[in-house]
Amino acid sequence: MSDALQERLSTARLTSEIKRRARELGFHKVGIVRAMPLEDERARLEEWLRRGHHAGMSWMARDVERRTDPRRLLPGALSVVVVALNYFTPHRHTAAHGTGKISRYAWGDDYHDVLGEKLKALLAFARELAPEAHGKVCVDAQPAMDKAWAERAGLGWIGKHTNLITRDYGSWVFLGELVLDIELEYDDAREEDHCGTCTLCLDACPTGAIVEPYVVDSARCISHATIELREPELPAEVAANLDGWLYGCDICQNVCPWNRFEQATEESRFEPRPDSISPKLNDIINLTHDAYVERFRRSPVKRAKLAGLQRNAHALLEDD
């Protein structure tokens, strides 16, 4: 057997083992693609930024090249292992008076911690098989374009609401990447766009934040306003159309026909914490800083800060 053939077999075996281990760790989908600049995606990102759709998220405009080239995250990067983790749990918001809705993704433990732990375990496994390997774990906080990589790896397609949609789990998935400086076998089959002529997400958005298919204006988005915005008051158009949302918004996902394929996750850490689905607004308003820290420790909701949550609760009560 030639050295070249042995090397190919070794690469194939390594790729297979990494995918197997990813599934053992609980990831529901995994694909591997070559680490290379995201040229088309960079052009779309720059146009989105030029139009000011990132609103107050100034970090989105910093170092676009690093955000779109994994070799800037890990020198010598050759492969990107892309994973998706289903987070759907079959619970529903209450319509009770004086309560506010929290986005489904934030009902349980912080996905940064859950995915980060699993990806670090996957990196450790890869280094057991290939001790010379170096890697970089990316879970949202790192400047990597998660949805673009997931689309390239064939995990799904980016829908008109700009979330990744999978045929298996709908859009209720968290995404992450493991960038490696070793050669692997790459997936080249992409999922075609199955949104078709559907415009349910555009039609349902109460603030018109999906300004055109595949384009979201963050300045109009309820999720951006209730989570990222640090102003003392919500924008008037958003405040008048909150539809009960205290933190985040799931409207565009709730109406998506592909979410009829939703499945309950096996990851217990995504099960709702007490009072995390539809908390009482007065309870939020009366939280002290210490009580807030204790209640939302290791929860995504801490992203909004206590002042932001209380601002949102006041806006909902004023609109009631």
CB 102 within 8 A of CB 276: yes
Residue 257 covered by a domain:
yes
Give the mean model confidence (pLDDT) for residues 28-41.
96
Residue 192 covered by a domain:
no
Q: Where are the beta strands (DSSP E) in 42-78?
A: none
The reported pLDDT for the residue numbered 140 is: 80
Same domain, 11 and 153: yes
Q: How far apart are CA 217 and CA 237, in angstroms?
A: 13
Identify the CA nearest to 247 among candidates 226, 218, 276. Answer: 226
Same domain, 115 and 9: yes
Residue 158 β-bridge partners:
164
Q: How far apart are CA 242 and CA 83, in angstroms?
A: 32
Residue 152 covered by a domain:
yes
CB 184 within 8 A of CB 14: yes
Residue 180 β-bridge partners:
79, 135
Range of the domain at 205: 200-261+273-319
Q: Are strands 245-247 and 101-102 parallel, antiparallel or unpaired?
A: parallel
CB 84 within 8 A of CB 114: no
The reported pLDDT for the residue numbered 62 is: 81
Residue 191 covered by a domain:
no
**Hey, how many other C-beta atoms are within 10 angstroms of the C-beta on 46?**
13
Query: Of 180, 209, 225, which residue is a domain's last?
Result: 180
Same domain, 208 and 161: no
Task: Name the active-site residue from 113, 140, 168, 283.
Answer: 140
Q: Domains in the chain: how many in total?
A: 2
Query: Of 131, 151, 180, which residue is a domain's last?
Result: 180
Percent of the chain whose predicted confidence (pLDDT) is above 90: 90
Residues with Cβ within 8 Å of residue 47, at least 6 apart in sequence: none
Same domain, 121 and 239: no
Same domain, 206 and 176: no
pLDDT (tens digit per residue) in 71-124: 999 999 999 999 999 999 999 999 899 999 999 999 999 999 999 999 999 999
Q: How far apart are CA 210 and CA 221, in angstroms?
A: 8
In terms of Cβ atoms closer than 10 Å to its own Cβ (0-12, 13-18, 19+), residue 259 is middle
Residue 187 covered by a domain:
no
Same domain, 170 and 215: no
Same domain, 150 and 238: no
Same domain, 150 and 245: no
Residue 99 covered by a domain:
no
Same domain, 131 and 206: no
Q: Tell me the DSSP string of 89-140.
A: -S------TTB-EE-GGGSSS-HHHHHHHHHHHHHHHHHHH-TT--EEEE-S
Q: Tell me the DSSP string of 43-59.
A: HHHHHHHHTTTTTT-GG
Give the 3-state secondary structure of residue 247.
strand
The reported pLDDT for the residue numbered 5 is: 47
Same domain, 135 and 244: no
pLDDT (tens digit per residue) in 182-241: 999 999 899 999 999 999 999 999 999 999 999 999 999 999 999 999 999 999 999 999
Residues with Cβ within 8 Å of residue 29, at least 6 apart in sequence: 83, 84, 155, 156, 166, 168, 169, 173
Q: Are strands 164-165 and 157-158 parallel, antiparallel or unpaired?
A: antiparallel
Residue 168 covered by a domain:
yes
pTM of the entire predicted model: 0.94
Residue 117 covered by a domain:
yes
Percent of the chain whose predicted confidence (pLDDT) is above 70: 96
Told to judge if 140 belongs to the known catalytic residues of this protein, a careful annotator would answer yes
Q: How far apart are CA 151 and CA 175, in angstroms?
A: 11
Same domain, 163 and 249: no
φ, ψ dihedrals at 168, nearest 5°: -90, -40
Query: Of 129, 148, 180, which residue is a domain's last?
Result: 180
Same domain, 138 and 167: yes
Q: How far apart are CA 177 and CA 196, in angstroms?
A: 28
